Structure 1
């Protein structure tokens, strides 16, 4: 029989340690880069992190590589290495553990600790912050520490590098923008409803929020109101949910260990699900044949799937097994066992993400399928499209690796801007990348030209596709001329777009580039 659920009324005081742009820091260390050159880390040909000097040139998350390099020709392009990020963060975690045990790692670059015990030991929260800064400062100078009531408020305090006095976390959170919440769909809806800050969202009645937005909205509402970001129904599950994996013979390769532990990890998640529970935080204990141990707590913003748990096993082992000889707690032998201990769990329905009253089962199945594909093919192989700003359909579509946060919270605002030269709705259902060369001819069989002023002397009559098929144009609209970034010789675009409809009723979006005086097929309307 399980213990009754305990509801925490007062959020605990927590300290969050955040290392901004940690993928950049780890990539610099891996490639031996010094100073502050403009650096960007890429996954699937898109920026996932960049240095401050790169941001000064207009680089930001989500940009394509070509666009980023056009904005900053001196940009240093590096591929993301999540294993290297975990290895580089390992000394930081060890330094935090020297101050307070029980470090909870959200991801490489972000960790948190309960500050109650260290405060009594060091004589105050400010003293704890100084102790953490001194301990971490020997490993990296790129760190921000914040203290607040609850994990969510502490993370936001760390991003602002501040200590929020006890009891004032709701007031601190109230001034933050609504896109601070890690719920893109909910944030988009709240923004369209005119809610711009966490305070405005927290002011809504909790019962009405739950009735309108479901459990996901209620979860976000508690965060916005300064309630502990950990689930209210969180508890330490019974010991029968702990899983131990023995390796005989012992293993010293991370990929072999992760593969061997995969079945146990899936059983770990299924055992919890059979009891109506989902894990949000677990403790991973790895041991060698020499008796050495590495213990870490891993927390997830949502609920942990088998893929999430396996990823964190890789991260922890990459950091531990690659310690140099002589470093504190460096392993001297292969791994003999792994132990998974669930720390915090929630009922399986308390964090479902369906906003419109469904049970979320279809979303969960889709999430598992896409997560499995991403694991097999690599990070960035599965992407989610979001609407952003731009004039062409390709510019207005941004692809984000599955499971990643949005590059920034400004995409919706960018999409609503006027964008002179933008095509009217609807957008093409198929976008060609790269565009295909085509021919647009007039009634005499000559190529249709577009003047420098965006005029069309002769109307289009025939469209010749790359396959050689010729279609008769029965209707057309445009042109929509675009002359952008005229001050940049490399990035300047001078073109005009047309919408064409052929005799079969199929519509096309074609583009005439004045630089090479050729037509290209950009999209198809199905």
Structure 2
């Protein structure tokens, strides 16, 4: 039941039983009409096309759904913004939209646009997964005899990465994490999880395995009871957090720029280490400095730092133009030259008169807003944090975001 009045059912088996789709449609019409309802029946290769065919009472032959859909306007897709944009681009019909290359559609319109493109081509919006329930996509290599050198293991990792990507592609899936597992002589097992996000190439996966092997060797994890290195008997790559492969949106005109960037980042990581190349991601937090976090290239932000709220006490817009890497020492003084304090009831001890930020000239305070309290993790005696924020406008023009914590003032950000 799609909605009241619209019912969808697979027709292949029943049609064969009753002598064809037309005979099946007639039987359905007779049965529903017998109880006093008017019914129209349509058939096509997809649910979307069958619903349109039912409006006309048409039975679209198998394999001709795309031809049936071609004359329809793009507005029937139910995506108003996409329909307006396609019309302005000179693609007013589903047939014109379906003629576009799939990779270009994904690059320009994202996964939702790719789903609409599949519908226009006479396919279901999401491809069916061919992965059997409980199917294990792990790939592994046995070393006989056990090896002590890392080069053969790194070479095997490259081949395993290729096999893993082939299995994921065949199953119509991507994974969010990859577990690298190493089994040593004596039964010792080492594991490490790497973020994947569906973007790591075969070479990138192999490189990460090599980095991990080197790290285990440096830390002595490969040693056998503190002695010489133990032999490696098995290497396995196991994908985790599987989801349907919906495509990846890249830049508008081709993906060469992104591919070159990823290759350059992978080379730097190979030389300098995984954490040497980072990107800035939007994270969760209440202050501006907390929301900008650095994530190693190829990883995704930690789940406990996602920007989704709620974040009570979060700084509202407009946001500061400049946030220093470290809080800068500051002094907020009253007209008598005494530090301004804030009581437990959020009352100022005196109106602010002067602001002194380390490395900047003292300025006169023209106005202020706040204070706003922030109480974080009050239930945790170790990580509990209590602070107060204020916005201060100076006669020089710029405004500052100040923080009072444990009786000391700090400059957290600057409004340029």
TM-score of Structure 1 vs Structure 2, range by shorter chain: 0.3 to 0.5
Answer with 1 or 2: which has the greater Rg. Answer: 2
- More RCO (CA 8 Å, sep 6+): 1
TM-score scaled to structure 2, two decimals?
A: 0.46
TM-score scaled to structure 1, two decimals?
A: 0.37
